[in-house]
Amino acid sequence: MTDPTQITRILFQDFDPKAIYLFYAFGYLAIAIFIHGCYVQVRKYRRGKPDESWNQIFKRFWDMVKTMASHRTLVRRDKKAGRAHGLIFFGFVLLFIGTATITLEYDILEPLFGVRFWYGNFYLLFSLVLDVAGFGVIAGLLYMMYRRKWMNLPKLDYKRVDRQVGDPDYDRSQYRREDWAFLWSFILIGITGFILEATRLVWLSETPSVWDHRFWSPVGALLAHMMEALGMTAEIAGAFRPYLWWFHGLLSLTFIACIPYTKIKHIFTAAASLMFKSPLVGRRLPIIPVEQANAGYKTITDLTWKNLLHLDACTKCGRCQEACPANAVGAPLSPRDVILSLREFANKTLNAKELPAEAELDIHGKSPGQVMQETLWSCRTCLACVEICPVAVEHVPIIVQMRRNLVEAGEMEPILEKTLQTIHKTGNSFGESKRKRAAWAKGLPFEIKDARTEPVDILWFVGDYASFDPRNQKVTRSFAKLLNKAGVNFGLLFEAEMNAGNDIRRVGEEGLYEHLATSNIGTLQSCDFKSIVTTDPHSFNTIRNEYPDFGGAFEINHYTTLVKQLIESGQIKLKKKLDYRVTFHDPCHLGRYNKGYDAPRDVIKLLGCELVEMGRNRDNSFCCGAGGGRIWIPDPVGIEKPSANRMREAGQIEGLDVFIVSCPKDLTMFEDALKTSGFEGQFVVRELIELIDECIEYDVVDITNEAEVITTSD
């Protein structure tokens, strides 16, 4: 039986002490380069504006650890890549811990206290674990290589949609080279590690304390046997080993030194990005501090340190681009390109020792690193990019902040400018008189309460489209009848209701938003009600998530939640079942923004419909194209509209009867799109309320005497 302390690996075995010193010198050099790189990065972040995200730091840290440990965000919509990354990541973590353990004993505990633990059974287990880890890393890397080389994934094509062929930063081939350099150097470190291990085994094949336990390093042992079979002797191995050792060692040190300068830094930046992510990102846009003179982002130094950090976290995975509706229809926007452009810009300007002059910091324009207006205006703030990004990059706040600057400078479509002026003048985007806000209610067989003058349980915030658009007014009337039938004590704000401001804020007209929000909040606060309901997901989002920043905290529900309760509690009786084959489109502001995926589906099922999901559903729902103020800007002719793209998707469902929406803007967008889609006549677009309406029996009594209805309708 060998003495267990003999079962270990002797570090620098048979090395000349000078060589060891040399290695340490290289080691320190690598660390120095690494630290300098980190310093430059941190200095860059510190050149950004302040951000409050330091709160709850431990909770944030813990959440980040959980996300990384589960790889939850990485496996979404690309399981294989996520798992391969998992192999690399966990393998790397184990190898790192392994190396740290050795350092702990060799450089700290043993020289200082004479303590040793890296031998015997612990050593053997250690060897096994690290062998498996190293194998995992190599397997993961091989898959990644295969994926890059042979899978031809469009999302891994870095060619830009917002630049022309021939522009200096058009194809971003530099990134491709970096990707391959990374893959190759990493895999070489792994492979040489194993060969080195095998070489050592062959070299020490006469030493029982090593050779007898070789299968605790299974990969190394296997290789050793293969080498022996190929005729390698202990002498040859001994002679070969130093070269290999130095190659492996120097490559590893170079790798470490390169971390802050290359894509490898995502190890740190992605983790930090996940840690500092905002729980309400996009749902609640940043307010402009009172003392700040200019709105939005004009220069790279207007970005916060957190924004700058997010830029560095991007791993170019392309998932955001793949999810982006603007990108899907060929608009000159890829969320990834926005992030990468700004990152390049930040690295160019903020890594320098001295900050360049103000004029050189302008991030708007067509030069490399700048973002074009057309790009910014193409965004529909649908949040698909933010939602899928595995490393919590927050594109939308940056895009909106940049738009704020464009709005301030008047750089926008004339038609959008007109709409904003109209909204300022009339409080609604239709340019209708305030007095007509509740004109849709004319002809209803009952009076709707004025919530400004009498207390109600539920205040119905109607929103512009539901109030003024003739097609949507029908739906609005149905919903009023439904509430009335259910005996809900509800009321409206009538002419005091203004556009809730959600889309105006997303356009970037922050001043107008503040004006609308504060006046709505003032009106709401003067009313006596328990909660708000709305059929408009846009209003829903801003009242729910953004009004609190302006002093208005209200309980608000989207109508799907309320209707579900009313049906389940029996307040609404469904007199018949529908046997339609339907599909449901998740509105961005209800689904992704507010996680309201289930209530509409539950209602659909309660109605008896057969729900067939489209490929892109729930969190991956495809924006109708109306968000972010784009409803006021006509889409360019010649390219497909996102709504048309969606119709094509729905058209693939066999025997589809109804395409259900639960948002007034969706109704407008999709009814329009259906007309030109070629599917007209095959299926129809309906607001969910209309289907519910079909199932409710409004008896004649309703019209003549509503008071009686409540008591007799059962």
Decide if 269 contacts 309 (C-beta within 8 A). yes
Query: In the complex with ligand SF4, which residue's Cβ is closer, 387 or 693?
Result: 387
Give the burial string for 111-129 (b: 16+ CB within 10 Å, else e). Answer: eeeeeeebbbeebbebbee
Q: Which does 510 bind (CB under 5 to 8 A by kind): ligand SF4, other proteins, none?
A: other proteins
Q: How far apart are CA 410 and CA 419, in angstroms?
A: 13
Question: Which of 605, 502, 504 lies closest to 560 in space, CA to CA?
Answer: 605
Interface residue with other proteins, options 83, 147, 424, 474 (CB under 8 A)? 424
Here's the x/- map for other proteins, 243-282, by CB under 8 A: it reads as: ----------------------------------------
425 lies in the site for other proteins, by CB under 8 A: yes
**CA nearest 260: which of 338, 306, 312, 310?**
312
291 phi/psi in degrees, rounded to 5: -80, -10
Torsion of CA 175, 179, 184, 190, to 10 degrees: 140
466 binds ligand SF4 (CB under 6 A): no
**CA 102 distance to own-chain centroid:** 39
- The answer to whether residue 581 forms part of the interface with other proteins (CB under 8 A) is no
Quick one: 201 or 398, whose CB is closer to ligand SF4? Answer: 398
323 binds ligand SF4 (CB under 6 A): yes
Q: Note whether 508 binds ligand SF4 by CB under 6 A.
A: no
We find the least distance from the C-beta atom of residue 272 to other proteins, in angstroms, to be 32
Which partner, ligand SF4, other proteins, none, binds residue 288 by CB below 5 to 8 Å per kind? other proteins
Q: Is 373 in the site for ligand SF4 (CB under 6 A)?
A: no
Q: How many angstroms separate the Cα of 438 from the Cα of each of 188, 465, 516, 533?
A: 71, 12, 18, 16
Sheet of strand 458-460, all strands in order from the earlier edge strand to the far edge = 449-450, 490-492, 458-460, 531-534, 556-558
Question: Which amino acid would we find at residue 503?
Answer: D
Q: Which does 147 bind (CB under 5 to 8 A by kind): ligand SF4, other proteins, none?
A: none
Name the residue nearer to other proteins (CB basis): 178 or 495: 495
Burial class (CB in 10 A: 0-12, 13-18, 19+), 422: middle
Instruction: Please identify, using beta-carbon distances, which residue of 410 and 638 lies nearer to other proteins.
Output: 410
Q: In sequence order, what are the residues at sequence separation of 6 or more whose Cβ sits closer than 8 angstroms to the Cβ of residue 421?
A: none
Q: Are 493 and 461 in contact (CB under 8 A)?
A: yes
Largest CA distance in the chain: 106
**Angle 221-98-71 from CA coordinates, rounded to 5°:** 100
C-beta of 360: minimal distance to other proteins in Å? 22
Look up residue 148 and give its amino acid: R
Amino acid identity of residue 420, one-letter, is L
The residue range among 52-60, 432-440, 455-463, 623-631 that interacts with other proteins, by the rule CB under 8 A, is 432-440
* In the complex, least distance from residue 62 CB atom to ligand SF4, rounded to whole angstroms: 22
DSSP assignments along 253-318, one per residue: HHHHHHGGGSGGGHHHHHHHHHHT--TTTTTSPPPPPTT--S-S--BGGGSBHHHHHHHHH-----
Q: How far is the CB of 681 from other proteins (least distance, A)?
A: 36
- Residue from 359, 435, 443, 711 touching other proteins (CB under 8 A): that is 435
Instruction: Considering only the stretches 91-99, 208-216, 373-381, 705-713, report the one whose residues sit in contact with ligand SF4 under the rule CB under 6 A.
Output: 373-381
Q: How far is the CB of 50 from ligand SF4 (least distance, A)?
A: 23
Is the separation of the CB atoms in 127 and 197 below 8 Å? no
Q: Is 701 in the site for other proteins (CB under 8 A)?
A: no
Instruction: Report the residue from 94, 224, 420, 562 that binds other proteins according to the rule CB under 8 A.
Output: 420
Among 325, 369, 600, 629, binds ligand SF4 (CB under 6 A): 325
Q: Is 456 in the site for ligand SF4 (CB under 6 A)?
A: no
Residues 6+ apart with CB under 8 A from 288: 295, 296, 404, 510
- Out of 349, 381, 502, 520, the only residue in the binding site for ligand SF4 (CB under 6 A) is 381
Based on CB atoms, which residue is closest to other proteins, 407 or 482?
407
Identified binder of ligand SF4 from the candidate list 94, 379, 407, 667, rule CB under 6 A: 379
**How far is 137 from 255, CA to CA, in rounded Å?**
15
| Binding at 196: pick from ligand SF4, other proteins, none (beta carbon under 5-8 Å per type) | none
**How far is the CA of 322 from the CAs of 160, 275, 340, 588, in angstroms?**
13, 24, 15, 16
Would you list the DSSP string of 211-232? HTTGGGSHHHHHHHHHHHHTT-
Q: Residue 49 pairs with which residues in a beta bridge? A: 304
The reply on whether position 661 binds ligand SF4 by CB under 6 A is no
Q: Which partner from the list ligand SF4, other proteins, none does 436 bind, CB cut-off 5 to 8 Å by kind?
A: other proteins
Residues 480-519 as x/- pattern, contact with other proteins by CB under 8 A: -----------------------------xxxx-xx----
Instruction: Give 201 or 420: the residue with its C-beta nearer to other proteins.
Output: 420
CA atoms within 13 A on the CB side of 431: 7
Smallest gap from residue 116 Cβ to ligand SF4 (A): 43
Among 262, 370, 426, 713, binds other proteins (CB under 8 A): 426
The whole-angstrom separation of Cα 317 and Cα 75 is 12
Does 309 bind ligand SF4 (CB under 6 A)? Our answer is no
The residues in 71-130 that bind ligand SF4, with binding defined as CB under 6 A, are: none
Return the DSSP state at 683: B
Q: Does 346 participate in binding ligand SF4 (rule CB under 6 A)?
A: no
Taking CB under 6 A as the criterion, the residue among 316, 404, 437, 564 binding ligand SF4 is: 316
Stretch touching ligand SF4 by CB under 6 A, among 110-118, 330-338, 519-527, 561-569:
330-338
Nearest to residue 63, comparing CAs of 309, 264, 273? 273
Tell which one of 74, 198, 221, 382 touches ligand SF4 (CB under 6 A). Answer: 382
What tokens does 295 get? 């709105």
Q: Is 274 in the site for ligand SF4 (CB under 6 A)?
A: no
> Quick one: how many helices (H) and strands (E) in the chain?
31, 9
Name which of residues 395 to 424 contact ligand SF4 (CB under 6 A).
395-396
CB count in 10 Å sphere of residue 312:
24
Q: Which one of the spans 203-211, 375-383, 423-431, 675-683 is the region binding ligand SF4 (CB under 6 A)? A: 375-383
Identify residues 135-154 at the interface with other proteins (CB under 8 A).
none
Told to check if 432 binds other proteins by CB under 8 A, we report yes
Do residues 134 and 219 lie in contact, with contact meaning Cβ atoms separated by under 8 Å? yes
Q: Is the dihedral of CA 389, 395, 397, 400 positive or negative?
A: negative
Considering only residues 253, 393, 407, 517, which one is a binding residue for ligand SF4 as defined by CB under 6 A? 393
- Give least dist CB 425 to other proteins, A: 6
Question: How far, in Å, CA of 714 to CA of 697, rounded?
Answer: 11
Binding site for ligand SF4 (CB under 6 A): 314-320, 323-326, 333, 335-336, 339, 379-385, 388-391, 393, 395-396, 623
Binding site for other proteins (CB under 8 A): 288, 293, 295, 407-408, 410, 412, 414, 417, 420-421, 424-426, 432-433, 435-436, 509-512, 514-515
